[in-house]
């Protein structure tokens, strides 16, 4: 077992794998090995969550080690985590070690059993933990055709303890356990996927109910403020389209904090797109919206855009809108600025669209101010940041 990797001097001085071949070893005890594998297979079948503990216990018994454990590789953030520790090092259960500066990392790089003598001389994190390791045998937990999952390691009480038979049989046992671990991990991933799908279905049901509730309220409010069915159809069509655009942007987020979120800038851009004669200017930091906030803001900006297209800057050649936003304490401030209009004046009466904007903003604890200027309307909106997360 000769390495083809050139190690830095400190690691090379503790790497003694070549000594395994020259040490005296007892004749293989195939009956004991068969019984050990049968024992591990039974545990895997009956109690798969106990496979690691059983593998470590068997390793300690067969190799007469004083400590042992499993190091599982975690690609993110690129480290090993210690599991199923037994013996004198059991108190370090759950500890993490670096992938690229550890005996386990060398074992995975070589993809074969390795032996080290007093590795604390080369790895300062072992020394700083107050751990003394006379000799450690490491074997990769492998599965044919796949990358190693981690390593099984056994610590001896004195130098010169481990031999080639220890390495051979522990490799066989580790390969068998590697298959078990792959099965366990696959089952865990499948279980997680099913849980996420169930959560997604519940959320979709909730969203659909909310959407119908908002649409029903909108129909009733609009019907009370129009005189003809044509006016009703025109008003409702635009508002329902704005709701549809908002919901099209909402995307699912999995994790410890499950939420449905949309981007504020994407929402405003999509609402303005049908009315633009020239691209609008959007300026502000990234801002995530919850589902209800996206629906509320879609209605607000739809009404502002509709009024601008009928009477304001977007009704004129060269007219455009600038939307900017920024955080200020526990609130977010939004500025809607129309440019390129001609002699715009405040309306003598308040239309339903204007009242809808005011009601919607009031519902989420916000405030709105309008400033009618000759070249276009300016609107200032202040909303609680917490209202955007719902």
Whether the link from the prior residue into 100 is cis, omega within 30° of 0, is: no
- Of 142, 114, 152, nearest to 1 by C-alpha is 114
The first and second tokens of residue 209, run together, are 């109910």
> What residue spans in the chain does CATH classification 3.30.565.10 cover?
237-388
Superfamily (CATH H level) for 9-188: GAF domain (3.30.450.40)
User: Which residue's entry shows tokens 């690609």?
Assistant: 75
Separation of alpha carbons 240 and 232, rounded Å: 12
The first and second tokens of residue 280, run together, are 């609008």
In this structure, are residues 364 and 293 in contact, taking their beta carbons and an 8 Å threshold? yes
Fold of 237-388: Heat Shock Protein 90 (3.30.565)
Instruction: Give the model's pLDDT for residue 116.
Output: 96
The first and second tokens of residue 143, run together, are 């599965």
In this structure, are residues 164 and 25 in contact, taking their beta carbons and an 8 Å threshold? yes
Main-chain phi, psi angles of 118, to 5 degrees: 45, 65
- Of 178, 174, 138, nearest to 156 by C-alpha is 138
The first and second tokens of residue 348, run together, are 């003598």
Each residue's pLDDT expressed in tens, for the chain with a length of 390 residues: 445 566 777 888 999 999 998 899 888 888 887 888 788 778 777 887 787 888 889 889 889 999 999 998 888 888 999 999 999 899 999 999 999 999 999 999 998 999 999 999 999 999 998 899 999 999 998 766 667 788 999 999 999 999 999 999 888 888 777 766 666 666 666 666 666 666 556 655 555 665 565 566 556 656 766 677 777 777 667 666 666 666 666 554 434 444 456 788 888 888 787 766 666 788 999 888 887 888 788 888 888 887 787 778 877 777 888 999 999 999 999 999 988 876 666 676 667 677 878 888 888 899 999 888 878 889 999 999 988 887
Strand partners, 260: 252
Separation of alpha carbons 178 and 181, rounded Å: 5
In this structure, are residues 84 and 69 in contact, taking their beta carbons and an 8 Å threshold? yes
The first and second tokens of residue 278, run together, are 């020239």
In this structure, are residues 111 and 140 in contact, taking their beta carbons and an 8 Å threshold? yes
Q: How far is CA 23 from the centre of its chain?
A: 49
pTM, to two decimals: 0.50
Residues in the chain: 390
> What residue spans in the chain does CATH classification 3.30.450.40 cover?
9-188
């Amino acid at each position: 077992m000769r390495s083809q990797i050139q190690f830095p001097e400190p690691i090379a001085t503790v790497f003694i794998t070549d000594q395994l071949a020259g040490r005296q070893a007892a004749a293989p005890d195939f009956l004991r090995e068969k019984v050990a594998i049968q024992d591990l297979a039974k545990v895997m079948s009956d109690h798969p969550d106990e496979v690691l503990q059983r593998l470590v216990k068997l390793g300690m018994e067969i190799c007469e080690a004083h400590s042992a454990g499993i190091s599982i590789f975690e690609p993110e953030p690129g480290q090993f985590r210690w599991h199923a520790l037994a013996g004198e090092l059991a108190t370090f259960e759950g500890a993490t070690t670096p992938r690229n500066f550890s005996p386990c990392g060398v074992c995975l790089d070589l993809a074969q059993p390795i032996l080290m003598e007093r590795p604390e001389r080369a790895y300062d994190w072992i020394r700083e933990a107050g751990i003394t390791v006379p000799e450690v045998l490491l074997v990769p937990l492998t599965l044919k055709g796949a990358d190693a999952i981690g390593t099984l390691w056994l610590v001896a009480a004195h130098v010169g303890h481990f031999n080639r038979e220890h390495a051979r049989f522990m490799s066989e046992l580790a390969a068998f356990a590697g298959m078990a671990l792959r099965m366990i991990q696959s089952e865990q991933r499948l279980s997680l996927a099913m849980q996420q799908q169930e959560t997604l279905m519940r959320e979709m049901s909730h969203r659909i109910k909310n959407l119908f509730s908002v649409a029903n309220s909108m129909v009733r409010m609009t019907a009370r403020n129009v005189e003809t069915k044509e006016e009703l159809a025109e008003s409702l069509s635009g508002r329902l389209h704005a709701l549809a655009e908002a919901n099209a942007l909402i995307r699912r987020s999995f994790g410890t904090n499950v939420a449905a979120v949309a981007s504020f800038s994407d929402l405003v851009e999509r609402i303005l797109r049908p009315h633009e004669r020239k691209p609008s200017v959007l300026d502000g930091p990234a801002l995530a919206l919850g589902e209800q906030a996206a629906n509320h803001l879609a209605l607000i900006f739809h009404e502002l855009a509709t009024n601008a297209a009928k009477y304001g800057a977007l009704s004129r050649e060269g007219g455009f809108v600038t939307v900017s936003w920024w955080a200020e304490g526990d609130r977010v401030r939004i500025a809607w600025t129309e440019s390129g209009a001609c002699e715009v004046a405040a309306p003598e009466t308040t239309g339903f669209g204007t009242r809808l904007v005011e009601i919607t903003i009031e519902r989420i604890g916000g405030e709105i101010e309008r400033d009618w200027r000759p070249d276009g309307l300016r609107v200032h909106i202040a909303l609680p940041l917490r209202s955007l997360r719902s």
